[in-house]
Each structure stands twice: as C-alpha cells, then as structure tokens.
Amino acid sequence: MIIALQPFEVMTQLCAVNSMLPSYRIIAPGTMIDSAHFRLLIGEKLDISPTSITGIMIGGHGHNNLPLWNSITVGGIHLLSENSSIGKSYDKENWNQLHINVNQRQEEIMKIKGTEVWSISMASSELVECILRNKREIHTVTVNIKGYYDVKDDLFISIPAIISQNGVSHLITTKFSNHNNENEFATIIQNIQMIIKEKLNNI
C-alpha cells in the first residue's frame, strides 16, 4: 500500500493500525521529494546536473528532514573527501544553507500552487513502477523503523530502503558523519513520535 496523503508519517501509522497488512507493505514517498530538491540545489551550487549527483535526506517530509552530508557524491566522488567541514558550523562554503533552501523551496511551491500533489504523484508513481517491476531500487521512503535507532514501538519515518515486489525488502541503516547529525536525527524521531501521538489522539 502506497500512501500518497500527507502527513506521511501520520497516515502510514494510521494505516498500519487499521489495516491487516504487514508493515513492510505500507510505505509513503516521504523524503524522496526532499531528497530530489536536495540534489537539485547541490547541482545548482556546483553547476553540475543533478543526474550526476547522489544525496539523500531522511526523517520526515518538510521541516523534520535531515540531510546526510556523507551521502553526497558527485560523479562518484564523495563530497566530504573534498571538504570535510561540510554540514558543520565552521563550514566556510555554508553548505548548511542548502538544508534551509530545501525547506524554503517546498514552502514556495505550496504558496504558489497550494499543493504538492504533482511531486507526490511523481514519487508515488516511481514507487509503483519499482514494485510492479521488482526493480529493487533504494529510495528514502516512510517505513516502519521499529527495532532500528533504539525505536521500540511502531514508528513510520523516512530512511533508505530497498523496494521490491513485496514492498520493503530491506531497511538500510544510516551511518552519520558526525555526532551532531546523530543527535539531530534522535530529536527528529522524538518530534515525529509526538506529532503522530497528537494527531492520532484527535481522530
């Protein structure tokens, strides 16, 4: 089941509670959209096509997202090998601004169009194709991370996962480039847990 309705984290959790499906068959586009904006902005900064760039964001779609600086490669070269201060407060190239710009760009789209339907539809169709053709591609999707990152209960959040004809066939745990990233992700998990609890209590 692909959930194309926001907020992804809440809606996937709701479906998991109320459906008979195993959690590995319940997914949402999550930070696929954020990651696409992230790569686009990296490309603009470096004046390189985003098709030659890898780079992902995890967490929640929107302001609860987190860039993984150690995931960025340009033509196969890890960006951190060229600038080890990327993502840190003393980074002279100010890469942290890209994180801010990703969220600002998404806000601008919402202001102009009033919706993210197009980008959600594109990401969802990519997942549909991946499942139907058993492509086993890796995408940052909203999935159940129970048992990972010290999460003991069901919690749907975006991390990299292999998507196959069975849904989520494997979760890919993230190695953070620094303790700040790790602490930020722990905070994001707590924030999303609170949001889900609040939303579900109001239903």
Q: Summarize pLDDT for 84-93 with one digit per residue, the tens.
A: 999 888 899 9
pLDDT at 22: 95
Catalytic residue among 61, 78, 170, 179: 61
pLDDT at 56: 97
CA distance 59 to 158: 5
List, for residues 99-130, the tens digit of each pLDDT value.
999 999 888 887 877 778 889 999 999 999 99
Please say if the pLDDT value at position 180 is more than 80: no
Phi, psi of 30 (to 5 degrees): 50, -125
Q: How confident is the model at residue 158 (pLDDT cuts 50, 70, 90)?
A: very high
* Domain extents in the chain: 8-201
CA distance 164 to 5: 21
pLDDT at 172: 96
Q: How confident is the model at residue 66 (pLDDT cuts 50, 70, 90)?
A: very high
Q: Fill in the amino acid letter for 179.
A: H
Active site residue 61: yes
CATH tag, 8-201: 3.90.110.10
pLDDT at 75: 95
